[in-house]
A and B are shown apart, each in its own frame.
Chain A
Amino acid sequence: DAMVIQNPRYQVTQFGKPVTLSCSQTLNHNVMYWYQQKSSQAPKLLFHYYDKDFNNEADTPDNFQSRRPNTSFCFLDIRSPGLGDAAMYLCATSRADSSYTFGSGTRLTVV
């Protein structure tokens, strides 16, 4: 089945230690998104790629970076995780005019 896959499902990292979360898709969607979700709140968009074009939200901290080496993969890099970065990170994909398909998310714990 075509889908969006996030790895790992659970990630524990040390305070200040760089961490990378991954997302892959088999849907061939041209848009990929990274959201941060805390405590059952609304997902907060961090950035998205429209094809190869990177679009950063104005309030996304510099600590968060992203890479999209090809259509299928997108990575979220957190350069120096703080305790406040503990959250569920959701990857989603879409075509420009369609609904989003979400991955199952990666729950990040910072210790």
Chain B
Amino acid sequence: AQSVAQPEDQVNVAEGNPLTVKCTYSVSGNPYLFWYVQYPNRGLQFLLKYITGDNLVKGSYGFEAEFNKSQTSFHLKKPSALVSDSALYFCAVRDMGGYQKVTFGTGTKLQVIP
């Protein structure tokens, strides 16, 4: 069975500071990994994904994520946080083998303080 853990319910960061939102995963095979962002009363928006290749993945709005196989982590990062980045962030995983449903983490609320 596959699973995703987002250990922090909320992350607070000052505007202009770097931000990290943590995610660890568990799959039986090789993972597809995703980050989605959700603004209030909206659907989830795709930020970035890792399938194969470079461990550092760049995505939308200046976000990036680093795939670490040995630590089974896929932390979301941004060098300089904006107030407009405040939202709910979901990490997701699926097993690369064949068709598998995506499993979402419980979400991390990011609050960027002006």
Contacts and interface: CB of A to CB of B under 8 A. Distances in A.
A39 B105 CA distance: 14
A34 interface: no
A40 interface: yes
B101 A102 contact: no
B1 to A, nearest CB: 13
Size range of the chain A interface in the assembly: 20 to 34
Give chain B's interface residue range (CB within 8 Å of chain A): 20 to 34
A107 B41 contact: yes
B44 A90 contact: yes
A96 B90 contact: no
B41 A96 contact: no
Contacts of A92: 43-44
B31 interface: no
Contact of B43 (A40, A48, A50, A102): A102
Contacts of A105: 41-43
Contact of B106 (A42, A104, A107): A42
Contacts of A4: 43
Interface in A23-69: 40-43, 45, 48, 50
A103 interface: yes
Q: Which of B32, B43, B104 lies at the interface centre, i.e. has the most chain A CB atoms within 10 A of its CB?
A: B43
Contacts of A73: none
Given A99-B46, A99-B49, A104-B42, A42 B34 contact: no
Given A97-B32, A102-B45, 20 more contacts: A40-B38, A40-B88, A40-B107, A42-B105, A42-B106, A43-B90, A45-B101, A48-B101, A50-B99, A92-B43, A92-B44, A96-B99, A97-B99, A99-B34, A100-B44, A100-B92, A100-B102, A102-B44, A102-B46, A104-B43
Q: What 9 A-B pairs are tightest by C-beta distance, nearest first?
A: A102-B43, A102-B44, A42-B104, A105-B43, A96-B99, A104-B43, A42-B106, A103-B43, A99-B49
